[in-house]
């Protein structure tokens, strides 16, 4: 079953074309990576998924609940961890749901629940941002830059949590990630984007050994 279907999507910002005929799909419980250099159009695609930018051509169909962890995490610094989570469950003016399920899923947040989110480390804030997104009980989680600015051990712990959510809850993931090695090892399929277009798509393990990918994104060199 297809959860996300992006078809020939074009998005322009006052004349500049950020997305140029992009097509991408994500199935139920699938983990898909989107990699590409700065300015390739990844964040614009994420914004199009939630309707924050409008299509100039093509279409976006989302079947099921989609929740996002935006680039830069954007936790509410002056609110407690628990209140940040509650905001993620806010729907149609109704108060957020019970947060206890999130502490079961992300136990590291438990001892931090009363702390102001602004006082947490980058990794802890990223976990809050993921927890807040999970409050919406999404079918698909979209994370714009999971690892940015985080230490490798912290990233590893987040990746372990995502694997668990995928395995136990069937959560689908669209991961936008500068660290291509990380993205290709976590996800089963990947899209490579350059200058507003999808230039490669396929099985993540196959792409990880594709010389165009290794040269551009995995620190390899053309011979």
Ligand X SMILES: Nc1ncnc2c1ncn2[C@@H]1O[C@H](COP(=O)(O)OP(=O)(O)OP(=O)(O)O)[C@@H](O)[C@H]1O
Q: Token pair for residue 74?
A: 């954007």
Beta strands 140-144; 66-69: pairing state = parallel
Q: How far is the CB of 195 from ligand X (least distance, A)?
A: 8
Q: How far is the CB of 12 from ligand X (least distance, A)?
A: 9
Q: How far is the CB of 192 from ligand X (least distance, A)?
A: 11
Closer CB to ligand X, 39 or 170, in the complex: 39
Binding residues for ligand X, per CB under 6 A? Answer: 13, 16, 18, 36, 38-44
Q: How far is the CB of 181 from ligand X (least distance, A)?
A: 16
Q: How far is the CB of 157 from ligand X (least distance, A)?
A: 23
d(CA 173, CA 166): 8
Sign of the alpha-carbon dihedral angle for 43, 45, 51, 52: positive
**What is the strand order of the sheet 172-176 is part of?**
66-69, 140-144, 172-176, 31-36, 189-194, 197-203
Cβ atoms within 10 A of the Cβ of 92, count? 4
d(CA 11, CA 59): 10
- Strand-pair partners of 141: 67, 173
Sign of the alpha-carbon dihedral angle for 68, 189, 40, 49: negative
Q: How far is the CB of 38 from ligand X (least distance, A)?
A: 3
Closer CB to ligand X, 141 or 165, in the complex: 141
Q: Token pair for residue 29?
A: 């419980």
Closer CB to ligand X, 27 or 71, in the complex: 71
Closer CB to ligand X, 40 or 130, in the complex: 40
Closer CB to ligand X, 106 or 187, in the complex: 187
Beta strands 31-36; 197-203: pairing state = unpaired
Closer CB to ligand X, 57 or 205, in the complex: 57
């Amino acid at each position: 079953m297809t959860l996300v279907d992006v078809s020939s999507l074009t998005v322009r910002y006052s004349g500049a074309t950020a997305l140029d005929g992009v097509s991408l799909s994500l199935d139920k419980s699938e983990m898909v990576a989107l990699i590409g250099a700065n300015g390739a159009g990844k964040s614009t695609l994420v914004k199009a998924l939630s309707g924050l930018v409008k299509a100039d051509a093509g279409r976006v169909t989302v079947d099921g609940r989609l929740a996002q962890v935006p680039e830069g995490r954007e936790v509410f610094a002056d609110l407690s961890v628990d209140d940040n989570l509650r905001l993620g469950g806010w729907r149609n003016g109704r108060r957020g749901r019970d947060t206890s399920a999130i502490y079961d899923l992300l136990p590291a947040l438990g001892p931090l629940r009363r702390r102001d989110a602004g006082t947490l480390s980058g990794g802890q804030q990223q976990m809050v941002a993921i927890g807040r997104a999970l409050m919406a009980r999404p079918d698909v989680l979209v994370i714009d830059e999971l690892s940015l600015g985080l230490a490798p051990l912290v990233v590893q712990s987040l990746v372990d949590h995502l694997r668990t959510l995928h395995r136990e809850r069937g959560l689908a993931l669209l991961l936008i990630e500068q660290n291509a090695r990380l993205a290709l090892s976590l996800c089963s399929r990947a899209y490579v984007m350059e200058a507003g277009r999808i230039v490669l798509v396929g099985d993540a393990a196959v792409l990880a050994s594709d010389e165009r990918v290794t040269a551009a994104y995995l620190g390899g060199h053309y011979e």
